[in-house]
Structure 1
Amino acid sequence: MQELAIGDAAPDFDLESDGGGRVSLSGLKGKPVVVYFYPKDNTPGCTKEAIAFTELNDEFNKLGVTIVGISPDSAKKHDNFIAKHNLAVRLGADTDIKTAEAYGVWVEKSMYGKKYMGVERSTFLVNKDGAIAQIWRKVKVPGHADAVLEAASAL
């Protein structure tokens, strides 16, 4: 599969989300969207990333930008994650991994010499027309939410 590039149309998704709702990219058309993929709820890096986006949520809102975090966890796990850390971001449940595959972030990883498939921490900034404006792959959490906010403010 070809890797997504800046200017490509962002693949649509329609996922069960926290709070018993659904979240879809097409449902947010006309607004810029930050779509960030993370491996797992309640793990150290993923928790730090979600908290960082939550802390900047008001700034993103002022720009009219919606933040959607996506992981393979269930919507119920997302609800617990949000409640535990008082998160202010929408979380989509990509339980069948189809969205991660469409964005090219379901990759072979290696830990302690074992190879396995998992989500590569990645963020996509989608403009109001549904095109990818910016891509961050293999994200390192410190400072990342600030960098995404800076890019979003230039849209």
Structure 2
Amino acid sequence: MPDLPASHRLRTGRYAEPNRIYLLTTNTLDREPVFADFALGRLVVHQFRQAQNTGLVNSLAWVVIPDHFHWLVELEKCSLSNLMRQTKSLIAREVNLSGNRNGPLWQQGYHDRALRREEDLVKMARYVVANPLRAGLVERLGDYPLWDAIWL
């Protein structure tokens, strides 16, 4: 395999299948803690809800951490690349307007993992919503404001 930048290696072999469940993760540029500002984090949540409301995905669980997000989705009527390009672009636009910022917000690319077994779904949802605990942002899950899961 040629020596490609990390963002291009993430795309190698990527295949998006409708109705498949994916765990999606992306980081802010230079891991800047942009979403430590609760209001800016809510802009990410708004875009997750927009993707659900327009039928692009069924959002199963998500968490917005200061420098990244995890989003567990069932892909409906779009590709992973279109979903992430649109979501990241709209979030960047809103964050830049609201946060008096300019320039890029996100690192290039994103990470995706297709889930293959039903038991993986519960395991991944727990991983997603427990991320603030592992990161040391809170002592109890309920104390962190920027997460949700359909099971609650």
Name the TM-score, length of structure 2 as normaliser.
0.29
Structure exhibiting the larger radius of gyration computed from Cα positions: 2
Name the TM-score, length of structure 1 as normaliser.
0.29
| Structure with the largest fraction of helix | 2
| Structure with the largest fraction of strand | 1
